[in-house]
Amino acid sequence: RIWKSGRLSSAMEQTFIMIKPDGAQRCLVGEIISRFEKKGFSLRGLKLVSVDSAFAEKHYADLSAKPFFNGLVEYIISGPVVAMVWEGKGVVKTGRTIIGATNPADSAPGTIRGDFAVDIGRNVIHGSDSVESARKEIALWFPEGVVEWQSSLRPWIYE
Ligand code: IDP
Ligand code: MG
């Protein structure tokens, strides 16, 4: 056993990732999950859900004053979304890097938005922007909790 639990656990983070309705409609679910899996992050929660406007407004509460807020809520409730929790070292920040800039016009090729999106209002995926936001979003989307397990690949991903 080459993995030492004590050293690693403090660096472990969880983030909330959601494939938005356009991502689900465009059959990008497998591709997106694959990118997080191949990176070496570990899946802790996964479900396909349709949310109502009250729930979407709660998720995006920080943006309620923005002119695009109503359109954003309509977008998120327009079809099922894939809600996920991913775990790993630095997963919040690295998850955002994998996703790319908010506006796909500015997202680098190789990022999810850079590769699969064009318009800011159809940018395919959400990822928590901080450890604190992740904590709140995971509590909102997974009140039932997430799955406790440890991938056997762990010693091949972490030193
Ligand atoms: P993020 O998703 O990259 O964290 P936020 O600023 O948190 O970006 O905005 C949340 C979502 O609101 C974006 O992903 C995008 O779908 C939408 N959004 C942000 N800015 C605009 C805009 O100017 N017009 C339309 N939709 C926007
Ligand atoms: Mg955000």
Q: Which pLDDT does position 145 carry in this prediction?
A: 98
User: The whole model's pTM is what?
Assistant: 0.95
Find out whether 12 and 88 touch, Cβ atoms under 8 Å.
Answer: yes
Asked if residue 123 belongs to a known ligand binding site, the reply is yes
Q: Is the shortest distance between the CB of 121 and ligand 1 below 6 Å?
A: yes
Cβ(17)–Cβ(29) below 8 Å: no
pLDDT in tens, 5-38: 444 466 799 999 999 999 999 999 999 999 999 9
Quickly tell me which residue has 């500015």 as its tokens: 106
Distance 69 CA to ligand 1 centre (A): 9
126 is catalytic: yes
Q: For residue 101, how far is its CA from the centre of ligand 1 (angstroms)?
A: 10
Decide if pLDDT at 4 tops 80.
no
> Is 97 marked within a binding site?
no
pLDDT of residue 10: 62
| pLDDT tens per residue across span 124-151 | 999 999 999 999 999 999 999 999 999 9
Q: Would you say 77 and 146 are in contact if contact means Cβ atoms under 8 Å apart? A: no
Is there a binding annotation on residue 102?
yes
Arithmetic mean of pLDDT, 45-68: 98
What is the per-residue burial (b if ≥16 Cβ within 10 Å, else e) of 114-129?
A: bbbbeeeebbbbbbbb
Mean pLDDT in residue range 88-100 = 98
Q: Determine whether the shortest distance from the Cβ of 98 to ligand 1 is under 6 A.
A: no
Q: CA–CA separation, 106 vs 38, rounded Å?
A: 24
